[in-house]
Structure 1
Amino acid sequence: MKRLAVGPMTTPEYNEWWVRRINDNTLKTSQESNQSIEEHLWVVPSELEIIRQDFERRNLELEKKIEQMEDDNMNLRLDIDVQKLEIENLRKGKNKSKEDLDSLKTDYKKLRLSG
Structure 2
Amino acid sequence: MKLGLDVDVQNLEADKMRKGKNKAEEDLGNLKRDYKKLRLSIRTVRLEATLERDLLESQNKKVRLRARVVELERSLHQYRSRNSKIKLKTSLNNIEELKGKIEELETALQNCELRVELLETNNEH
TM-score of the pair, normalised by structure 2 = 0.53
Instruction: Give the number of the structure whose residues are more often helix, by fraction.
Output: 2
The alignment yields a C-alpha RMSD, in angstroms, of 1.7
Residue correspondences, number: 73
Higher relative contact order (CA 8 A, sep 6+): 2
**Pairing 1:1-115 to 2, within 5 Å after superposition:** 46-115=4-73
Structure 1 residue 44 displacement after superposition: 7.8
- Structure whose CA Rg is larger: 1
Instruction: Give the TM-score of the pair, scaled to structure 1.
Output: 0.57
Moved over 6 A (4+): none
Shift of 1:46: 3.3
User: Which amino acid is the alignment partner of residue 32 of structure 2?
Assistant: M
Could you tell me the percent identity over the aligned residues? 4
Unaligned runs of 5+ in 2: 74-125
